[in-house]
Amino acid sequence: MMPGPVAYVLKGYPRLSETFISQEIRALEQRGLPIHIISLRHPTESHVHPIHREIRAPVTYLPEYVYQEPLRVLRAWWRVRRWPSYRAARSLFWRDLRRDPTVNRLRRFGQALVLARELRPAYTHLHAHFLHTPASVARYAAILRELPWSCSAHAKDIWTLPDWEKQEKLADCRWLVTCTSANADHLARLGPAGVVSRIYHGLDLSRFPPPPPRNHQPDGSSREDPVLILSVGRAVEKKGYPDLLEALAMLPRHLHWQLVHIGGGALVKSLHRMGRRLGMQQRVAWLGAQPQEVVLDYYRRAHIFALACRIAPDGDRDGLPNVLMEALSQQLPVVSTRISAIPELIEDGVNGLLVPQRDPAALAEALGALITDPARRHRLGLAGEERVRSHFPMERGIAELGRKFGLIE
Query: Secondary structure of 224-263 in the HEC alphabet?
Result: CCCEEEEEECCCCHHHCHHHHHHHHHHCCCCCCEEEEEEC
Are residues 223 and 108 both part of a single domain? no
Predicted confidence (pLDDT) per residue in 81-106, tens digit: 999 999 999 999 999 999 999 999 99
For residue 409, being part of any structural domain is answered with no
Mean pLDDT (whole number) for 372-401 = 96
State how many domains the chain has: 2
212 pLDDT tier (thresholds 50, 70, 90): very high
Are residues 192 and 215 both part of a single domain? no
Predicted confidence (pLDDT) per residue in 153-168, tens digit: 999 999 999 999 999 9
Are residues 144 and 254 both part of a single domain? no
CATH code, domain with 136: 3.40.50.2000
* Whether residue 2 has pLDDT greater than 70: no
Q: What distance in Å separates the CA atoms of residue 308 and residue 231, rounded to the nearest whole number?
A: 9
Contact 14, 43 (CB under 8 A): yes
pLDDT attached to residue 43: 87
Are residues 329 and 373 both part of a single domain? yes
Mean pLDDT (whole number) for 222-249 = 97
C-alpha dihedral sign at 322, 328, 333, 339: positive
Mean pLDDT (whole number) for 172-187 = 96
Are residues 214 and 96 both part of a single domain? no
pLDDT attached to residue 18: 85
Are residues 176 and 247 both part of a single domain? no
| pLDDT > 90 in the chain, percent | 90
Mean pLDDT (whole number) for 43-63 = 88
Mean pLDDT (whole number) for 244-267 = 96
Are residues 175 and 239 both part of a single domain? no
pLDDT attached to residue 253: 93
Q: What distance in Å separates the CA atoms of residue 292 and residue 52, rounded to the nearest whole number?
A: 11
| pLDDT > 70 in the chain, percent | 99
pLDDT attached to residue 17: 78
Residue 75: give the domain boundaries.
6-202+393-404
Give the distance from CA 225 to its chain's centroid.
Answer: 34
Mean pLDDT (whole number) for 358-384 = 98
Are residues 75 and 196 both part of a single domain? yes
Predicted confidence (pLDDT) per residue in 127-143, tens digit: 999 999 999 999 999 99
314 contacts: CB under 8 Å, gap ≥ 6 = 160
Q: What distance in Å separates the CA atoms of residue 403 and residue 389, rounded to the nearest whole number?
A: 23
Are residues 316 and 368 both part of a single domain? yes
For residue 372, being part of any structural domain is answered with yes
Cβ-based neighbour number of residue 308 at 10 Å: 26
Distances from the Cα of 285 to the Cα of 16, 78, 222, 275, 276, angstroms: 20, 53, 19, 10, 12
Give the predicted TM-score (pTM) of the model: 0.89
For residue 17, being part of any structural domain is answered with yes
* Whether residue 285 has pLDDT greater than 60: yes
Q: What distance in Å separates the CA atoms of residue 98 and residue 278, rounded to the nearest whole number?
A: 47
Are residues 19 and 111 both part of a single domain? yes
Are residues 169 and 244 both part of a single domain? no
Predicted confidence (pLDDT) per residue in 311-348, tens digit: 999 999 998 999 999 999 999 999 999 999 999 999 99
pLDDT attached to residue 216: 86
* Whether residue 409 has pLDDT greater than 70: no
Are residues 310 and 180 both part of a single domain? no
For residue 1, being part of any structural domain is answered with no
Contact 28, 57 (CB under 8 A): no
Q: What are the φ and ψ backbone dihedral angles of 174, each rounded to 5 degrees?
A: -70, -45
Mean pLDDT (whole number) for 244-249 = 98
